[in-house]
Amino acid sequence: MAMPDLPQVLTLDACRRRGMTDRRVRWFLESQRWQQVFPRVYATFNGPIPLAVKQSAAVLYAGEGAVLSHSSSGRCWRLCPPPGKIDVTVPYPRDAADQPGIIIHRSKTLCADDVHPVFSPPRLTVEATVLDLLPRCSTADAALCLIADALRWPLTTPASIRHALLAKPCTRWRKVVLEALPDLAAGAQSSMEVREMRLRRAHGVPVGRRQFTRLADGTEHLDDFDAEFRVHTELDGRLGHDRGRDVFRDMRRDNRSELEQVRHLRYGWADLFDRPCEVAIQEALIYRQQGWTGKFKRCRKCPPLPSGL
């Protein structure tokens, strides 16, 4: 049973400030009108406790200056799946003991600018959350996918991410992300897409529109689509290409390109790593056949160019 004049979560100190005695608080708990979420933190209702209430309780338990961080903040920003435990960061030298369901982090650099000014319970900004999550990425591709996810929504900007990274020189994957930011801002969503975009630019091949939504209902996305020359390129290897689940979706997408008289190319990791210049030459030839008149930039690793380039 909820009490309408009370917030959903209260600490014992907050109860005392409201004039409640400890005995009164125990009565609410023993009568099962309230329930303890964490030590000295109570939900003022019975029944299941929603995640948002647990998060608020975790922040209140951790004390003044505490904020949702790491995977918990990442989940709030839709950057990662729900974590098994609630991550909370407190400013150094404050501390709080871990509890079942809570992981307490301490930070010497946490400041007001790192905390979003609107949301409750308080959470880190997108940029500060990204800096928390990057060290947990096991590969460069995972790091770049994290940044791509942050940029996909209107949550932050490449300039803001860059500013945050420059302020934290010891952040893992910092150099990789800083180098890839221009391509991620242009729509690349993995290290594979970044590599392919750089390959095109190095050889003078046009770059289409990344993550182009072709169907009006938003259910079909093309990795790269150039409307001017009608060229569609797919890259197998980034997150989202699950062969067991998506093979028929990919077939329908590729067949639609053929029906719309769009030239179609598909590459994988082996193509971009083992024979990148061959990929660039093939892309240039397709563009040439579609009316492109630009100059192909041959590098020292390129094989002899075929006629037409």
Q: What pLDDT score was predicted for residue 112?
A: 93
Q: In what order do the strands lie in the sheet with 86-91?
A: 67-68, 86-91, 102-107
Interatomic CA distance for residues 188 and 209, integer angstroms = 10
Q: Which of 70, 11, 22 is nearest to 44 (CA)?
A: 11
**Could you report the per-residue pLDDT of 98-144, keeping only the tens digit for each?**
899 999 999 999 999 999 999 999 999 999 999 999 999 998 878 88
pLDDT at 244: 45
116: nearest Cα among 127, 103, 125: 125
pLDDT, residue 54, reads: 96
pLDDT of residue 4: 54
Residue 132 contacts residue 73 (beta carbons within 8 Å): yes
> Rounded to whole angstroms, how far apart are CA atoms 210 and 197?
10
**Global pTM value:** 0.71
What is the fold of 191-289? Answer: Endonuclease; Chain A (3.40.960)
Q: Using CA atoms, how far apart are residues 276 and 134, in angstroms rounded to an integer?
A: 28
pLDDT value of residue 194: 84
Are the C-beta atoms of 214 and 171 separated by less than 8 Å? Answer: no
Say if residue 164 is exposed, middle or buried (CB neighbours under 10 Å; 0-12, 13-18, 19+). Answer: buried
DSSP assignment string, 104-140: EEEESS--GGGB-SS-SS-BB-HHHHHHHHGGG-SSH
Q: Are 180 and 194 in contact (CB under 8 A)?
A: yes
Count each helix (H run) and each strand (E run) in the chain, helices first: 12, 10
Tokens representing 256? 């639609």
Residue 162, classified by CB atoms within 10 Å of its CB into exposed (0-12), middle (13-18) or buried (19+), is middle
The Cα-based distances of 24 to 3, 9, 21 in angstroms read 14, 16, 5
Residues in the chain, pLDDT under 50: 1-2, 238-245
